[in-house]
Structure 1
Amino acid sequence: MRILILGGSQFLGRAVGARACAVGHDVTCAARGVAGPIAAGAHFVMIDRDAADGLAPLAGETFDAVVDVSRYPGQVRRAVAALKRPGVHWTFVSTISVYADNRIPGQRADTAPLREPVAAEIEHSTDAIYGAAKVACEQAVGNDSFICRAGLIAGPEDPTGRFAYWPTRLARGGEVLAPGSPDDAVQFIDVRDLAQWIVHAAEVRLTGIYDGIGPIRKRGEFLAECAAALNASCTFTWIDREFLEAHDVRRWAGPRSLPMWLPLPDFAGFLTRDTSPAREAGLTSRPAGRDSARYTALAARKPRTSDRARLR
């Protein structure tokens, strides 16, 4: 099968390329070529998706499947106009940030309300309109495609640190500041598992809208599993939301943040999505501690700051 990846030079796109090559597909990665190398065995085509004719280098090429990971509505609309044809399986990697309600646990992709899409004239995306821009991208792609709404993605080459902080910190051992409660939910997916499912979806021509995330875990169990896999001796000091916010410890990502922490009840639904439809459609998840955490701890950079420094 000939697979075109629009992107393919970093993190998920490169993982999809690596998986597709590994199982014998003919893979082309089309990108600007500035983010990093493509997967070994894939072909590279230089394009500029922001230009009106930026996909011209792909003219005349035929593909059985296309995978697009863009966050920019203008790029997605141009790709659909230039490349989407009958018989071509189309995958669009979206995000659970498209949902309008993050408070209700257990929501499903087929029934949860969405944000309003950005206006038609909006070409690009920012962090402030990320979810709304992805809704616009989904609408451009259409319901005859495979739309994979990814959650927090972990694993090799993760550039965000949103998962990597925890294995790296736990590997140091000692007293570990843990946000919220041991019973709070966490939910994520290893990039290799997500890539495998995306390639599988193209192979079986899966269509529909799914949440591409792993099973719901309790935070305490997740941290203990990671520590055990790393042979780390840790004690956990659980700190409530009020104390963290009073000391300017921030949520999720960025400076002074604790990754994988979102305040409750505001985000009780964000990390508790019902992903049973995705599992029925072939998504599998590896044990977090045994593989994802161990790999990440070996590859990650030094922690950004100490636990105590987060509370100063």
Structure 2
Amino acid sequence: MDILVLGGGQFVGRHIVEAALANGHRVATFNRGRTGSQLFPEVERILGDRTGDLSALENRRFDAVIDVSGYVPRFVRNSAQLLRDRSDFYLFISTISVYAPGTDAPDEDSPVGTLEDETVEEVTGATYGPLKALCEQEVRAAFGERCAVVRPGLVAGPFDPTDRFTYWPHRVDLGGEVLAPGRPGGRFQYVDVRDLAAFALHLVEKQHDGTFNAVRPPELWGDLLEAARLASGAEARFIWADEAFLAEQGVRPWVDLPMWIPEGPDAGLTRVSSARALAAGMPVRPLGETVLDTLNWDRSRGAEEFRWALSPEREREVLDAWTARHG
């Protein structure tokens, strides 16, 4: 197949391009050429900016388009409308953040969030999900049943620029007392980027239309940290601090302790249904494999500070406060 990837220079796009090449497809990418230009010399690079000039795509024909870089409805509309007669199929990478706040255990038919002003184009924590939902509508309007929408949860694995999943194997690898959220039986969800890429490619190859939550079934926090300890061989001791204490200490869910979502309005995002994606063929590799591969990549890059998570000094303060109270 001739596959066009809109984006393709970073994390998810990089793995999709790699999977497509491994399956023998011909791949072209359309982006500004600012990241990943040294990757995949066999890939055709079409330079352009989807926020402006799309003329480089006007005289081209593709079997399928995979859109990993659409965040603003107007720009997604422009690319989808241009390509609807130039491609047989369009796959859009969306997010489980589209679901309306407070939705418990959402499946693909659950209500999505909305914007009071749908002309807003600034992507913030509040607008990100609703804007992605509007992007989905633009793809469906252009391609009808010739499209698929994939809604990943948190994406984990090598080359992740966000450091969210990576924080945990990295932190356990450092050893010592590790501040852990809630309890070992608490749940979280994610998807390995390589499973996401393989699933997206599978849908494209089969031209399988529909909407799919690309998350694996819930995992336990205790299993994640034990997998990290096993992978690293570190002497780490997990200090499980309850949610009330963490709130009292000003420890922010998701930001200070990445991936952690406490009980409350957002807890439904730890119980997202993956049944439809699994039935459609989404692979699920073992948690330990994702942890080990992420750790090995993290070690190879030599990162010292993460943009997410507590600093070592702040983590120590919270741990000392816990010890002072509980001994």
Deviation at 1:56, TM superposition (A): 0.3
1:46 is matched with 47
Deviation at 1:124, TM superposition (A): 4.7
What does residue range 1-312 of structure 1 map to in structure 2 within 5 Å?
1-37=1-37, 39-40=39-40, 41-51=42-52, 54-69=53-68, 70-85=70-85, 88-102=88-102, 104=104, 106-109=105-108, 111-117=109-115, 119-142=117-140, 144=145, 145-253=147-255, 257-289=256-288, 291-300=289-298, 301-304=303-306, 305-306=311-312, 307-309=315-317
Deviation at 1:216, TM superposition (A): 0.8
Deviation at 1:120, TM superposition (A): 4.5
What letter is aligned with 2:206?
V
Instruction: String of CA shifts for 1:211-236, please: whole Å, max 9, x gaps.
Output: 01112111112221222122233221
Deviation at 1:123, TM superposition (A): 4.1
What letter is aligned with 2:212?
Y
What letter is aligned with 2:48?
I
The RMSD of aligned alpha carbons is: 1.8
Partner SS for 2:165? coil
Q: How has the CA–CA distance of structure 1 residues 179 and 267 changed in structure 2, closer, same or farther, with 3 Å as cutoff?
A: same
The 8 Å contact of residues 103 and 265 in structure 1, kept in 2 or not, is answered as no
What is the alpha-carbon distance in structure 2 between the residues aligned to residue 3 and residue 117 of structure 1? 33
Deviation at 1:202, TM superposition (A): 0.4
What is the alpha-carbon distance in structure 1 between the residues aligned to residue 14 and residue 218 of structure 2? 26
What percentage of aligned pairs have identical amino acids?
A: 38
What is the alpha-carbon distance in structure 1 between the residues aligned to residue 188 and residue 262 of structure 2? 12
Q: Which runs of no fewer than 5 residues in structure 2 stay unpaired?
A: 322-327
Deviation at 1:191, TM superposition (A): 0.7
Deviation at 1:192, TM superposition (A): 0.9
The 8 Å contact of residues 17 and 38 in structure 1, kept in 2 or not, is answered as no
The 8 Å contact of residues 67 and 90 in structure 1, kept in 2 or not, is answered as yes
Partner SS for 2:239? strand
Deviation at 1:244, TM superposition (A): 1.3
Q: Which runs of no fewer than 5 residues in structure 1 stay unpaired?
A: none
Instruction: String of CA shifts for 1:48-100, please: whole Å, max 9, x gaps.
Output: 1111xx11011111000001121121210100111113861110000011001
TM-score of the pair, normalised by structure 2: 0.88
What is the alpha-carbon distance in structure 1 between the residues aligned to residue 287 and residue 304 of structure 2? 20
What letter is aligned with 2:120?
I
Partner SS for 1:265? coil
The 8 Å contact of residues 8 and 39 in structure 1, kept in 2 or not, is answered as no
Q: How has the CA–CA distance of structure 1 residues 205 and 117 changed in structure 2, closer, same or farther, with 3 Å as cutoff?
A: farther
The 8 Å contact of residues 103 and 110 in structure 2, kept in 1 or not, is answered as no
What is the alpha-carbon distance in structure 2 between the residues aligned to residue 235 and residue 20 of structure 1? 41
Instruction: String of CA shifts for 1:179-219, please: whole Å, max 9, x gaps.
Output: 11111111101111101111111001111011011121111
What is the alpha-carbon distance in structure 2 between the residues aligned to residue 82 and residue 230 of structure 1? 48
Partner SS for 1:45? strand
What is the alpha-carbon distance in structure 2 between the residues aligned to residue 12 and residue 112 of structure 1? 25
TM-score of the pair, normalised by structure 1: 0.92
What letter is aligned with 1:132?
P
Moved more, 56-65 or 117-126: 117-126
What letter is aligned with 2:80?
V
After TM superposition, the runs of 4+ consecutive aligned structure 1 residues lying more than 6 A away are: none
The 8 Å contact of residues 118 and 129 in structure 1, kept in 2 or not, is answered as no
What is the alpha-carbon distance in structure 1 between the residues aligned to residue 120 and residue 60 of structure 2? 29
What is the alpha-carbon distance in structure 1 between the residues aligned to residue 164 and residue 20 of structure 2? 26
What letter is aligned with 1:308?
R
What is the alpha-carbon distance in structure 2 between the residues aligned to residue 296 and residue 303 of structure 1? 16
The 8 Å contact of residues 168 and 303 in structure 1, kept in 2 or not, is answered as no
2:324 is matched with none
